[in-house]
């Protein structure tokens, strides 16, 4: 028997404040499947106009309320209906979500601590992950979050999530606040780590370049209420970000998606003006 899809949405809609006068439908009739391919976690980039429901979709997969449960339809992870958050799904947000009063080492080790892993074992693993995300074990492990740059904090957030080896990684504009140079470095880092952990990634971004560079597939949502308009297969990131993003084929894909999004945004502006 073939294995169930890693993630599947069946006719999923979400209406916030359902049944109340301020009810608002954020996403509507979303259907997609991410199949389980042995030794390859798929990378899904999610693009769409502001407020179209990208975070809503991510948080439904995570099982976080009030996005969870969907108002209609089914959100399935590995063939099972999502009932709430679980260790098989890790999240990285744009906001730096480290604990201010914990060192880098203890932030990275946090999830293992919650799982009851011994201090020695979790610190050993945390040191290894601090190195993997490009931080310096000797000089950075003892620092506190306020002593780190934005890029370094996102490295900590990535290490903290990946150390737990989730099957699915949900990333909500994780690099949105970074300068362009740091952002490209983080994209390259993420590609390397993603290859190592072979997780399925959902990555929300406002950057078309980032979505095309990182994604195997780019989801494009319509304006609110968001529906899934396009699923575009793109080339995998097999070269460094700076190199690949300068290539003609890459630019062509970016321009094609930009046209689609501009049309959606102008429809949005038009609707707003009416
Ligand atoms: N808890 C909530 N209660 C009511 N409405 C909500 C709630 N969360 C989100 N919304 C609304 O649902 C819509 C979709 O929000 P969501 O954050 O999913 O969009 P998004 O595409 O991620 O937005 P952006 O690109 O601006 O980050 C928005 O109009 C938002 O105001």
Domain limits of the chain? 5-97+168-272, 99-147
User: What would the pLDDT profile of 143-155 be if each residue is shown by its tens digit?
Assistant: 999 999 988 999 9
Res 166 pLDDT > 70: yes
CB atoms within 10 A of CB 128: 13
Predicted pLDDT of residue 199: 94
Answer whether 255 contacts ligand 1 (Cβ < 6 A). no
If one residue of 18, 51, 62, 177 were mutated to test the ligand 1 pocket, choosing by the most ligand atoms within 8 A of its CB, it would be: 51
Q: What average pLDDT does the chain have?
A: 92
The ligand 1 atom at the shortest distance from the C-alpha of residue 56 is 18
Looking at residue 226, what DSSP letter applies?
Answer: B
**Distance in Å from the first CA to the final CA of the chain:** 53
* Per-residue pLDDT tens digits for 202-226: 999 999 999 999 999 999 999 989 9
pLDDT reported for residue 3: 87
Give the per-residue pLDDT at 268. Answer: 61
CA contacts within 13 A on the Cβ side of 13: 13
Cα gap 162→185, rounded to integer Å: 18
pLDDT at 238: 83
Residue nearest to atom 17 of ligand 1 (CA): 55
* Alpha carbon 6 to its chain's center: 15
Give the number of the atom of ligand 1 that is nearest the alpha carbon of residue 14: 12
User: Which residue is closest in CA terms to ligand 1's atom 11?
Assistant: 26
pLDDT at 96: 61
Residue 239: predicted pLDDT: 85
- Give yes or no for residue 178 having a pLDDT over 60: yes
Ligand 1 centre and the CA of 172: distance in Å?
Answer: 13
Looking at residue 1, its pLDDT comes to 63
Q: What is the pLDDT of residues 101-134, one digit of tens each?
A: 999 999 999 999 999 999 999 999 999 999 999 9
Q: Is the model's pLDDT at 44 over the cut of 80?
A: yes
Nearest by Cα to 102 from 91, 112, 94: 112
Pick from 176, 199, 183: nearest CA to 47: 176
What is the predicted pLDDT for the residue at 102? 95
CB 98 less than 6 A from any atom of ligand 1: no
Question: Can you tell me the mean pLDDT for 241-265?
Answer: 91
| Ligand 1 mean position, distance from CA 104 (Å) | 31
Q: Ligand 1 centre from 3 Cα, in Å?
A: 33
What is 5-97+168-272's CATH topology? Answer: Rossmann fold (3.40.50)
Question: For 81-96, what is the mean pLDDT?
Answer: 89
Each residue's pLDDT tens digit, 47-79: 999 999 999 999 999 999 999 999 999 999 999
- Verify whether ligand 1 is closer than 6 Å to residue 23 (CB atom): no
- Which secondary structure element, helix H or strand E, spans residue 30, and what is its range? strand 24-34
How many Å lie between the centroid of ligand 1 and the Cα of residue 128?
37
């Amino acid at each position: 028997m073939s294995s169930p899809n890693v993630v599947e949405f069946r006719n999923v809609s979400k209406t916030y404040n359902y049944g109340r006068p301020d009810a608002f439908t954020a996403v509507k009739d979303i259907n997609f499947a991410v199949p389980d391919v042995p030794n390859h976690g798929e990378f899904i980039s999610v693009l769409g106009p502001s407020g179209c429901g990208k975070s809503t979709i991510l948080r439904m997969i995570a099982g976080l309320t009030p996005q969870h449960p969907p108002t209609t339809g089914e959100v399935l992870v590995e063939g099972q209906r999502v009932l709430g958050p679980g260790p098989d799904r890790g999240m990285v947000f744009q906001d730096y979500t480290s604990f201010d009063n914990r060192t880098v080492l203890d932030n990275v080790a946090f999830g293992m601590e919650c799982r009851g892993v011994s201090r020695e074992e979790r610190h050993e693993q945390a040191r290894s992950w601090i190195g993997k995300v490009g931080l310096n074990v000797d000089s950075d492990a003892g620092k506190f979050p306020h002593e780190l740059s934005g890029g370094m904090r996102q490295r900590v957030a990535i290490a903290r999530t990946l150390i737990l080896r989730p099957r699915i990684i949900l990333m909500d504009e994780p690099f949105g606040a970074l300068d362009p140079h740091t952002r490209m470095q983080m994209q390259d880092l993420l590609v390397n780590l993603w290859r190592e952990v072979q997780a399925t990634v959902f990555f929300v971004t406002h950057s078309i370049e980032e979505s095309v560079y990182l994604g195997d597939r780019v989801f494009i949502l319509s304006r609110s209420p968001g529906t899934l308009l396009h699923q575009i297969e793109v080339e995998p990131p097999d070269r460094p970000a700076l190199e690949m993003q300068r290539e003609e084929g890459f630019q062509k894909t970016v321009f094609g998606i930009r046209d689609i999004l501009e049309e959606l945004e102008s429809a949005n502006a038009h609707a707003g003006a009416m």
